[in-house]
Amino acid sequence: MQKGAKSLVDEMKRLATRGKAEELVGRLYRAARALREPVPFEEKFRRSDLHSNIYEPTWSAADEAEARLLIYNTDSEESFVEGGKADAARLRPYFDKGSTVLDLGCGIGRVASFVAPECARLWAVDVSQKMLDLAAKRLAGCDNVTYLHSRDVAMPAVPSASVDLAYSLLVLQHLEREDAFLLLEELRRVLKPGGTLVVTFPNLLSDEYLGSFLEYVRDRSKRVPARARAYTPEEVGRIMEAAGFEAALDPGVEIRVVAHPRPPT
């Protein structure tokens, strides 16, 4: 048995002995995916127990005040709302009153509260049920919102090729790179041909995020799961291409990406 396989088997035995069934299933699923087993899409995503929410505890805010700090690093409701309004305005060219829109990592509705009134349907997707509960209160006047508790890298309830605009702002940076890539593939799945994806990534080449990176390097206590993982523009371009997108990048302090599913060849 190869060394890597033996260590995986040993880990599985440890989890089984400790009764950690959900974590064990999650590890088995990831191992199967790594081996690129030809499992049909429908089978992979039909069973929600194949996906454990490893990120949810980080984003389980007790109230709106804590949520604002987690999402936007502010305790000011005014700043939180104005930031969401500005981000929604930048998205406005990509959807209209008849559009189906998906907000991945919606939090408590910072952006969604301004998008929902202007579209036909909004999927509000988040890994945290507590965030979704708070979002539902903030968007109580909008009856076109479907709240979806995602399972890490899967949104099985969202039909394939059903979304006109998907956006994920200040979100993918908080995931391991491998998981961020899997979510990009999932967003590619749900977008209609010709649909639009808008995402942002921290720019490692900016002074701000290079400084954050060096801080993480030098202070191990700051290496928390929710830390921002920075990318270079070249990395983002290659990753978007590998995930099946044609993308235009606008590199600043953050790399803003506007992308469309690449037509099949």
If asked whether residues 18 and 68 sit together in one domain, one would say: no
Q: How many domains are there within the chain?
A: 2
| Model pLDDT for residues 119-167, shown as the tens digit of each residue | 999 999 999 999 999 999 999 999 999 999 998 799 999 999 999 999 9
Is 187 domain-assigned? yes
Query: In the structure, what pLDDT confidence band is assigned to residue 226 with cuts at 50, 70 and 90?
Result: confident
| Model pLDDT for residues 12-44, shown as the tens digit of each residue | 556 555 554 545 444 454 444 444 333 343 333
Q: What is the CATH number of the domain that holds 85?
A: 3.40.50.150
> CA torsion, points 193, 196, 201, 205, in degrees to nearest 10?
90
If asked whether residues 34 and 66 sit together in one domain, one would say: no
> Tokens in use for 46?
């039909």
If asked whether residues 160 and 227 sit together in one domain, one would say: yes
- What does the alpha-carbon distance between residue 157 and residue 176 come to, in Å, rounded to a whole number? 23
Is 48 domain-assigned? no
- In whole angstroms, how far apart are CA 218 and each of 211, 213, 222, 253? 11, 9, 9, 22
Rg (CA), the chain: 19
For residue 8, what pLDDT is reported? Answer: 52
For residue 171, what pLDDT is reported? Answer: 96
Element (H, E) at 165: strand 163-168
What value does the mean pLDDT of the chain take? 86
* Domain span holding position 183: 55-261
Query: In the structure, what pLDDT confidence band is assigned to residue 81 with cuts at 50, 70 and 90?
Result: very high
Q: Write down the pTM of the prediction.
A: 0.80
- Helical packing angle, 177-190 and 233-242, nearest 10°: 50
